[in-house]
Amino acid sequence: MPYVYLAIPLAPLLGAIIAGLFGRQIGRAGAHWVTIIGVAVSFALSLWVFKHIVLDGAPVYNEAVYTWMATDAFRFEVGFLVDNLTALMMVVVTGVSLMVHIYTIGYMHDDPGYQRFFSYISLFTFSMLMLVMANNFMQLFFGWEAVGLVSYLLIGFWFKRESAIFANLKAFLVNRVGDFGFLLGIAAVLMYTGSLDYMAVFGQADQLAATTIEVLPGTEWNLVTVIAILLFIGAMGKSAQVPLHVWLPDSMEGPTPISALIHAATMVTAGIFMVARMSPLYELSEVALSLVVVLGALTAFFMGLLGIVQNDIKRVVAFSTLSQLGYMTVALGVSAYSAAIFHLMTHAFFKALLFLAAGSVIVALHHEQDMRKMGGLYKYMPVTFVTFLVGTLALIGFPGFAGFFSKDAIIESVHASSIPGAGLAYWLVLLGVFVTAFYSFRMFFLVFFGEERMDDHARAHLHESPRVVTVPLVLLAIPSAIIGWIAIEPLVFGDFFAGAITVAPEHDVVGEVGHHYHGQWSFILHAFQAPALWLALGGVATAWFIYMVRPSIATAARERLGFLHALLDRGYGFDEFNNQVFARGTLALGRGLSSQGDARVIDGWLVNGAARLVGWGARVVRHVQTGMMYHYAFVMIAGLLVFMTWFMFA
């Protein structure tokens, strides 16, 4: 079994190395075949592990496979923890990655960096697998930083574009802020437990909860709260929670396949997975849970509003990712970890589908991304149209589709929670349902219906994408439609995560909601009595009326509500604040240190000042050397008198 677990991450790593180092020798076809085979092997083995662990009930695997460094105090190891949570994440990561790899053959067909791109996305898959399979904080941090590094390379893949370089640098810097908190949290774990192994740390969780530390002079903080908040700061960066969300929309500068991979199965899901894995720590701190639920709710609602004013098709889908990550974070904050992971899984399928379908549209229109230059595409691209519709219905939570089951499970769990902040969160996620439906169907109607707004050249060459693009769309549309039916009962209301996730009895909101669960049809019927479904339908109807029946309403609203539109278009000013305070502030600080610290203090006072001091001393001392004997005799007698006086009175 250890060899199987080793093969799962190493197969895509091997493909990445071969495509990256020997891309010229094996050619374009060789690069995509070696990486696709590597990810396919990983996916097949992940399915086998899922069957072995989940379906056959095999014992959890938790072993170290390599000791990197050992001292008398600490051990740093590479090891795997494979339980139901890990097995599910492995299938999601490798399955979505495989579809993205296949799709990339068509999307990147004419790109000169073809081999390099396949190497990067395969390396991305390896990094995420190492993260989710880790059984200790050191390996978790390795995978955490590896996905950050590869995302930097992929967002800036078209490095000749200044916007791409700016975007990948922005992602790198923002994630460094989050990772600084994450590293401090890991350091605190090691300092107070003496171990980085998950099970060893969780075994001491009660001791951590009983310990207080002085973070600031005169203030006592519960240690487990400090650790949980520091770890969540890392999750805020990776999973793009306010205010560390600003890098995610700009990640659209990378090619569409990597947008799908980052937003669906890797990178942004890392923070959600990490908090769920750390549930034994979070359950001991309501302060940390309250922080998680409030920030998640703010992200879910206010980032969704930004999707309304976007005209770039990829940016609309990107802001929907921000909003949906907020829903997952809210679920974590109310201890509905199973609902959060369930939504992570369903979101991976329908968000990958939406991004890849958007990419199909972009390629068909010769890389046009502005929805104002689209329209009427359903006649030309029927497969893309149907699969895009499936993804959109799943995203808004239409009854029966995957997103409906996972999103409604989160909303009901938040409604049942008594965690401080859950009341505010409930109203925000509820209003977010209307917002999601509105911007999603605004995008859908502008792209596929209405007048054809593309130029004559684009219209003349419009056609459905090749099978290498449409087949992954169909394969992703299937789980986007049906996976909710299959998975809601075992994942959310069953004991699927027993042993992998810890929930305190007083926080068991999923169990409370589960008392009223009587099957999928009952869940759907209950939705008709709840406000979420009607808000979603209201959002769809509003989008249809404004953009299909009375488009003048949108123009009039933009003119009359110019300030609000500008505020949303500027993303509430987060980028401006960061540029003014942090970017320009750092430059101003650097200039000040250069002109005042370096030029005046170091050069002026220390270097040149020392030289001037020596010169002044030399000018003074030279007057002592007169060459007159009586001067020297006088100094000797005066010195002798001083010494005699000193000795007498001493």
Q: How do residues 498-544 score in pLDDT, each as one tens digit?
A: 889 999 999 999 999 988 888 889 889 988 888 999 999 999 999 99
Q: What is the predicted pLDDT for the residue at 435? A: 95
Looking at every residue in the chain, the average pLDDT score rounds to 90
Mean pLDDT, range 54-61, rounded to an integer: 91
> Is 515 in contact with 428 (CB distance < 8 Å)?
no
> Is 261 in contact with 97 (CB distance < 8 Å)?
yes
Surface-to-core class of residue 215, CB atoms within 10 Å of its CB (0-12 exposed, 13-18 middle, 19+ buried): exposed
What SS3 string covers 2-54? HHHHHHHHHHHHHHHHHHHHCHHHHHHHHHHHHHHHHHHHHHHHHHHHHHHHH
pLDDT tens-digit readout, 397-434: 999 999 999 999 999 999 999 999 999 999 999 999 99
Quickly state the pLDDT bin for 68 (edges 50, 70, 90): confident
Minimum mean pLDDT range among 10-19, 26-35, 481-490, 617-626: 617-626
* Helices (H), ranges, 244-381: 247-250, 256-264, 268-277, 279-282, 286-306, 313-333, 337-364
pLDDT tens-digit readout, 346-397: 999 999 999 999 999 998 888 889 999 998 899 899 999 999 999 999 999 9
**Which helix (H) or strand (E) segment is 411 a member of?**
helix 402-416
Strand 212-214 vs strand 61-70: parallel, antiparallel, or unpaired? unpaired
pLDDT tens-digit readout, 301-344: 999 999 999 999 999 999 999 999 999 999 999 999 999 999 99
Q: What is the predicted pLDDT for the residue at 560? A: 87
**CA count, 13 A, side-chain hemisphere, 191:** 11
In this prediction, what percent of the chain has a pLDDT beyond 70? 100
Mean pLDDT, range 46-51, rounded to an integer: 95
Mean pLDDT, range 276-294, rounded to an integer: 95
Q: What is the predicted pLDDT for the residue at 452? A: 85
Phi, psi of 568 (to 5 degrees): -70, -40
Quickly state the pLDDT bin for 483 (edges 50, 70, 90): very high
Query: How many CB atoms are located within 10 Å of the residue 635 CB?
Result: 11
Quickly state the pLDDT bin for 650 (edges 50, 70, 90): low
> Is 477 in contact with 390 (CB distance < 8 Å)?
yes
Q: How far apart are CA 322 and CA 75, in angstroms?
A: 37
Q: What is the predicted pLDDT for the residue at 77? A: 86
Q: What is the predicted pLDDT for the residue at 1? A: 64
**pTM given for the model:** 0.90
pLDDT tens-digit readout, 433-478: 999 999 999 999 999 998 888 888 878 788 888 999 999 999 999 9
pLDDT tens-digit readout, 586-616: 888 888 888 777 777 787 777 888 888 888 8
Mean pLDDT, range 484-505, rounded to an integer: 91
